[in-house]
Every structure is written in C-alpha cells, then in structure tokens.
Chain A
C-alpha cells in the first residue's frame, strides 16, 4: 500500500495510525518533505571543528554530509558524494584536511567543496581526457545552507530556509539561547546507539512528559522529574518544536506518586556523588528538554547537557548520536559533576535505557498492526501550552504539523 492509499483516522492528531512507523513510502516522503524541506537540521558544534580545515561527517536525514571550517574560518557543509561516480569522498568521521580526494579516480575537492583536480583531464599522450565542454565548476560537491547560532551549527538542503531565529520562534529561541548563551562550549564526548524503532518515536518520547513520571523509576525515586513538580509544556506557533520544562522536587513519596506502582522509596545511593546537582542557570528549571524539528533534542537534565541528533536509517531504525558538552569556563568540579550525571543518559543510561528499550517495544507492537491506531488524548484534544505535565499536547502539536508537511 502506498501513502496515497493511507488514510489518517480523523482530522486532528488524537489518533496516530501505526503505519507511520514502518511504511517505506512514508519514510521516503519524510526524507524529501521533512529532512530536505525548508528546515534547519542540527549538524555539529563549533567546538568540534575549531581550526581551519577541521571537518566532521554527519548525517542529515539519511544522507552523509561533511561539515568543515574552510581556510577563512567559514563553516561550510556539502554532500559527501563524489560528483563523478557517487563514491563517498570522505571515509573518516572527522579530521583536518585541505582537500578531499575521492579514492576511486582521485577527483579532489577543496574545503569549499569545489572540484579542483581531475586526473587525466587532458588525456594521456593526446588520447582520452574529458570533452572540451567539461567544466570543473559544474561538478563541485553540492553545498548545503549553513546557520551558526552561539556555537551550534545547523544546515539545510533547502535553497531558502527561513532565518534561524524565525525558524525557532521566540520562546524556543529564548530557551535555546539559555543553554547556548554565547559562552564557548567544551566537548566532553560522544555516545552512539542504533535504536530499532522509527525516528519519530524518539521525538514522541521527549515530547511526552506523561511517561517520564511513570516509566523512569530512577528519575521518580530521586525526585528528578515527577508529575507533581512545577512544570510546563510549551510549543512554537507551528507546533514542530517543543519544550518540556520542570523543576526538581523532593525524593520519596507524595500523594501524587500513589499511581506509580514501582516507586522505590527505600532506594538511597551509597555514593551520592552520582547525583549532586547544582543550579547553574538564572531560572529554577532543572530539566529542559527541547525538541527542534526535525533532528535535534537539546537536553538539560540537572547538570548534564547533551545534543541528541536523530539520524534515520530506514523506517524501522535510527541512530541516536549524543554529543555531551559543558562550557569552557567550567571548573574541574563542574566537569566531573557533568560526567557523573551522564550515567543517567545514552545507551547505558539509568534513565534513557528505559526509553531505548520501550521504543523497541513500540516498534515491535506497531509493526504487527499497521492498520490500527494509537490514542493521544491525555490532557485533552488540543495543542496549546500547558502549565503541567499530565499531557500529550506536544505530541499532538508535532503531528498536526507533520500532517500538513506530509499532506496526510
């Protein structure tokens, strides 16, 4: 069945058809309409490529992209594919170079993606060679648009994406600038995991505060995120980006945790240095999870800061690429604190392991019933901002936008 025959149940986003997680035609449509649409996709942080010639390879949607700082210090991005025969010109994940040389026929490109060298372009002993009308300037590596905001690099396949601040909207930009406030970032390290589920399940997960206070027993036990805490869910005008904002409460039991059957009241840490959060921003929010369409989650969970990039790998799998960071002016104690709190996050995280496991189970369950649909009614039917976390409004908002962009 193709997407043309797919019919979304109802005219809002309170029902989510399960075919959106496994249909290959839907996936291809997402790659072109969303990931190559009028968007800004997260690619890297400047701290990864501080010097001229420094580059990093990433994936935008399902396409390999090189991000490089050229000899003038300008950050550029282009497709990692030789114009000749489609071979990946760059095999490294990162490095420093003045030229990318395709291994197949040694076509070479400079740090601006321009084709500089074509072996035997004039032939050998007056035999062969390229036709007279062959122009190297017609065969560069296709460039992507680049936007840099306070040390974070976004790229776009689209010719005319909106200005980045406009793309994020006022509220989301303010919270983005809260973490990326212009201070230089310090790269702490990477973590990569291949999650056997559709990429949208990850976004749903981060836009869903309802699950966080139930699934994440570790968070709840230590009062890091809970349904009874002061919190808010906020979206941009389009619904594609969202913020979950929460303040840390007390550990242990309260009247509002009565529904949480597996709260471990008796669990105390033998070495409490694992959770030693300190306030570091001017507001009281201890958790801010920001989802930026279509491929980024900005995470502040206490003092652990990370950019989680979504790299779809077909309809039923995606790489979650974590970049942990702090600030250059962090002292040793703060860096240690961030590194310890990272125990909660990524593929072995005491909290996020719950998510990667449950996403697999969601994929396993929905794959078998593409004709059925899930229910998204917590907190009502609308997509408005709310001052609590017992809601699925941010997921609904995402899918309202998704339906528009996908014409579903």
Chain B
C-alpha cells in the first residue's frame, strides 16, 4: 500500500535533491556521501541494461564507505581534464510505502570542458528509496540513476 506525501515532505524531498546537486556541482564532494544511509546502494545504469534486466552498472557503490572510496579515488587518483558540472533535477514525485519514500525525479547534467561549448553529459531519471533517519533527516537508502543517454560523451568522472 502506498500513500501520498504532504506538502512539507515534498518540500523536504526537493531540498534533499537540491543539496545533492549542490554538493556534486559546487562541493565539497566529500560531504556528498553523507546524504546516503550507511547501507545504501548507488547505481549508475545505462537504460539498456535496466530494460534488459542486466545487472551491470557503470558506478556501483554498495555502502556509504564505497561512496567515500569513489569520491577519494576521483579526487586523488583519476587523471582528467578540469570540468564544471551542473545538475538539473525536476519532476520530483514520491509516495510513502512500507515506511519509506519511493521517489522518481528527472535529471540532466550539463558539462563544461575548458575549450568546448556546454553539452549534456547525462540525462535520465533517479529512482529512489528515501528514509527518515534517527537524526530526523531524509537520506537516500537507494538511488538508481538510469540514464537515457546510453552513448556517454567520453568520460563520467564525478557521480551523476
């Protein structure tokens, strides 16, 4: 059984998405994993794999620790051109089910490389499970980023 969410919860959910975008786009990136639960699941999945029921995700983090490892690896080990990213998250909806928020939101990420015009790095939808934690805050227990843009323009350095 699912139930509609009230305006306050809708607002809170959108605030969570906005905080997510701000941390990825403007940092500090190290705080981004704190928006997830300890036992979270974060997947970046090409739409083809999702529709064919194939399990491969191009980013797969199965805990907050793995999110932190991803962030540190990106910041300390991956060689990449500098870039600016800008997330646009819209059409956020959710319902309550089994004590969790089951949400969907659309996203697009614009990317600006030093010598190029802006382009769409990724677009698709977030399919979320969001829970209220002991400290009263909403956190992502699960985020599946299912991207329509299956042909990736070169490299995805930062989480989507």
Interface residues of A (CB under 8 A from B): 93, 187-196, 215, 217-218, 221, 262, 264, 267, 269-271, 273-274, 319, 324, 335, 339-340, 342-343, 346-350, 353-354, 356-358, 360-361
Interface residues of B (CB under 8 A from A): 44, 46, 48-49, 52, 54-63, 65-66, 68-70, 72-74, 76-81, 150-157
Interface residue from A191, A215, A361 paired with B58 (Cβ < 8 Å): A191
Min CB gap B21→A, angstroms = 18
CA distance in complex: A215, B79 (Å): 7
Given contacts A190-B46, A221-B77, A269-B69, whether A339 and B60 have CB atoms under 8 Å apart is yes
Name the B residues within 8 Å of A342 (CB-CB). 56-58, 60
CB proximity of A342 to chain B, nearest CB, Å: 6
Residue numbers in B under 8 Å from A189 (CB-CB): 46, 48-49, 52, 54-57
Q: Which of A193, A271, A340, A343 contacts B155 (CB 8 A)?
A: A193
A262 to B65, CA, bound (A): 23
| Chain A: CB-nearest residue to B63 | A271
Q: A218 CA to B80 CA in the complex, in Å?
A: 13
What separation, in Å, do the CA atoms of A264 and B75 have in the docked complex?
11
> Complex formed: what's the CA distance from A195 to B154 in Å?
5
Query: Which residues of chain A are within 8 angstroms of B81 by Cβ–Cβ distance?
Result: 357, 360-361
The smallest C-beta distance from A46 to any residue of chain B, in angstroms, reads 16
Do A360 and B154 touch (CB < 8 A)? Answer: yes
Question: Across chains A and B, which 3 residue pairs bring their CB atoms closest together, nearest first?
Answer: A189-B56, A271-B65, A270-B65
**B151 touching A350 by the CB < 8 A rule?**
no
Closest to A360 in B: B154
Contacts of A319 in B (CB 8 A): 151
Set A190, A192, A271, A354: member contacting B62, Cβ < 8 A? A271
The closest CB in chain A to the CB of B50 belongs to A189
Partner of A353, one of B63, B65, B76, B80: B80
Contacts of B63 in A (CB 8 A): 271, 273
A360-B80 Cα distance, complex, nearest whole Å: 10
Contacts known (A190-B46, A192-B46, A194-B154); A357 close to B56, Cβ less than 8 A: no
On chain B, the residues within 8 Å of A190 by CB distance are 46, 48-49, 54, 56, 150
A322 to B59, CA, bound (A): 14
The answer to whether A350 touches B55 (Cβ under 8 A) is no
Q: A215's closest neighbor in chain B, by CB? A: B79
Partner of B69, one of A215, A271, A335: A271
A193-B77 in contact (CB<8A)? no
Q: Are B55 and A348 in contact (CB under 8 A)?
A: no
Q: Are B79 and A354 in contact (CB under 8 A)?
A: yes
